[in-house]
Amino acid sequence: MCGIMGYVGKEEAWPIVVGGLRRLEYRGYDSAGVVTVSRKRLRLARSVGHLRALEDSHPEGLPGTVGIGHTRWATHGGVTQANCHPHLDSAQRIAIVHNGIIDNVEALRKELVAQGVEFRSETDTEVLAELIGREVAAGRGLRDAVLRALRRIEGTAGIVAVDRNDPERLVAARIGSPVVIGLGDGACWVASDALALRPYTDRMVVLEDSEIAEISPDGVRTVDLDERDRDKRVEKILHRPEEAEKGDYEHFMLKEIWEQPLALDRSMRGRLDAGMGSSRLGGLETHEQRLFDIRRVVFCACGTSLYSAQVGAYLMNRYARMPATAEDAAELAVQNPIVDRHTLYVAISQSGETADTLGALREIRLRGGLVAGITNVVGSSLARETDFGTYVHAGPEISVCSTKAFTAQVLATELLSLRFARMRDLGANEGRAWVAALEKLPAQTQGMLEQWQLCKQMAERFQAAPYTMFIGRGINVPVASEGALKLKEIAYVSAEGLSGGGMKHGPLALIEPGLPVWALVPPDETRERMLGNLRELEARGAYIIAVAAADDTEVAELVDTVVPLPPHHPTVSPMLTVVPLQLYAYYVALAKGYDIDKPRNLAKSVTVM
């Protein structure tokens, strides 16, 4: 959600810190601020609204070669300038930026108020700043002060702090909220997301939970909360800087929709075994023996990732004959889950930082469960905290609305299901047919994208529709839900994704003449029953847009518009049928003039429960 950027080096910090915050804008925020240190004074700039407002209020920037900045998404206290980060202690000596939530803030605030502290904001961060400030005032170095203050808090904190009396140094800490440090020659950068670092360096150190780093222009020294030195591995930031830029596209969302063929291709490269009709997933192979004992798979995720998980569960049941379910991670974490050693848990998260998904996997691991991770973000918490896992390599996804991560995550569940299927019931020839279908997928997805004009036409026609229905059966039920989620999220249209089988049990009552209904009717075992749904819809005058085989004349006669599908293996259809739904949502939002990449009330990465 919130973004952190810091710099210490020889150059002016302001443009670097603001530039880093700009690259984190996609996460969503409502105010921004920066502190620099110059001549042993903290220089502070804060502003409600976009970064542009912060820059306009300080056209010259702030002086100093060390600085920290923050984009805030209000949690404790309203969207006001006083609540913006950075926050200073009452002696105005130290400043901090903070991501996360301090659960015991009220008790700490009371204690400090009783000692005469007058807080200027409603934030938990100011309380933490005061705790650190008091330690520094008592003669401790900044790192020790941060350490002692952190020992007093309960909750989550990704923080960076600076002391005006020691301006050659930043101190960063991670208690549950991500912090990464970029390494350069005579300079270091610190951020909540590697995306902000990439223009400056491709070398980073990722803080683990409960680690504190002292960052100077010469490098980083990391200790744990017990002050034991930690040996840190220098990791490579894999994406290219331009991958996080819009290029010629009007919106990141459109760019990311069009990147799907490339993302799928990259994601499956080296992972298909055409000869054996199987897949190879690096992380999986290290636990291969244990996998033979698995009798059940439980996927867990949130939002769009949950829909990819539902596709995965379908594939496991249907093709691997492995009992599988997909659980909402937010629910699983609090349900006192029954965990057994013959179950494989698979946590899916684009960002790898979704608090609910991390909460679920921590709960499962605490009970001895084996957890695999599927994520897009290298070095994310999910990647670090699972027993093994796989990266989907979709490239940075900047738009709040997830698109290419969905198809890449579905692909990862395909590869996992194929592997299990081949360990169990699926014969070599059937496995080879599945692999062949996957190999064709990037080109076929490209073919689906070429139908953008038809999707745009539909969007312009129905942009004012107050409600839209999406229906599918079998493997396409989650895709219908995903189509509805996209439309809700960026076009603010009330929408539902439903199973065709459930229509007669209630939702059919919503159908009235002209109501737009997207129907997913691929030529698989669900087609006959979907034809029944189409007849019901047609009889009630719905405007039906079907995603169906190009040569399916029976469907064409029943519906108003067909978005044609190429011939394909039934396992891969979600990665094809979802494309027109993504394009439709995009063009509805475009026609309505909404802020597509940053929809209201939403943030890219939901790091609070």
> Given the rule CB under 6 A, which residues bind ligand F6R?
302-305, 349-351, 354, 357, 401-402, 485, 489, 605-606
Select 401 or 421, whichever has its Cβ closest to ligand F6R. 401
For 51, how many CA atoms within 13 A lie in the half-sphere containing its CB?
A: 21
Rounded to whole angstroms, the Cα distance separating 575 from 577 reads 6
| Shortest Cβ 78–ligand F6R spacing (Å) | 24
| Shortest Cβ 323–ligand F6R spacing (Å) | 24
DSSP state of 474: G
| Shortest Cβ 75–ligand F6R spacing (Å) | 16
| Shortest Cβ 197–ligand F6R spacing (Å) | 19
Q: 548-580: buried (b, 16+ CB within 10 Å) or exposed (e) per residue?
A: bbeebeebbebbebbbbbeebbbbbbbbbbbbb
Select 310 or 357, whichever has its Cβ closest to ligand F6R. 357
| Shortest Cβ 499–ligand F6R spacing (Å) | 20
Select 121 or 402, whichever has its Cβ closest to ligand F6R. 402
DSSP state of 532: H
Q: What are phi and psi of 79, to 5 degrees?
A: -85, 85
Residue nearest to ligand F6R according to CB distances in the complex? 303
| Shortest Cβ 301–ligand F6R spacing (Å) | 6
In 10 A of CB 529, how many CB atoms? 14
Task: Sheet with 543-549: list strands edge to edge.
Answer: 494-499, 467-472, 516-521, 543-549, 561-565
Strand ranges (E), 54-207: 66-72, 87-88, 94-99, 157-163, 170-175, 180-183, 188-191, 203-206
Select 301 or 546, whichever has its Cβ closest to ligand F6R. 301
Select 179 or 188, whichever has its Cβ closest to ligand F6R. 179
Question: Is cis: bond before 15, omega within 30 of 0?
Answer: no
Contact 31, 73 (CB under 8 A): no
110 is catalytic: no
Rounded to whole angstroms, the Cα distance separating 581 from 449 reads 11
Rounded to whole angstroms, the Cα distance separating 556 from 549 reads 9
Could you tell me the two tokens for 513?
């003449």
| Shortest Cβ 349–ligand F6R spacing (Å) | 3
In 10 A of CB 598, how many CB atoms? 22
Select 71 or 350, whichever has its Cβ closest to ligand F6R. 350
| Shortest Cβ 127–ligand F6R spacing (Å) | 28
Q: Which of 142, 444, 467, 473 is nearest to 310 (CA)?
A: 473
2 is catalytic: yes
Cα angle: 568, vertex 586, 550; to 5 degrees: 25
- The single residue of 255, 404, 486, 604 carrying the catalytic annotation is 604
Relative to beta strand 388-391, strand 370-375 is parallel
Amino acid identity of residue 68, one-letter, is I
Select 156 or 605, whichever has its Cβ closest to ligand F6R. 605
For 111, residues 6+ apart whose C-beta sits below 8 A from its C-beta are none
Which residues are registered as beta bridge partners of 297?
324, 344
Q: Which of 340, 344, 339 is nearest to 294 (CA)?
A: 344
Select 215 or 313, whichever has its Cβ closest to ligand F6R. 313
Residues recognised as catalytic: 2, 604
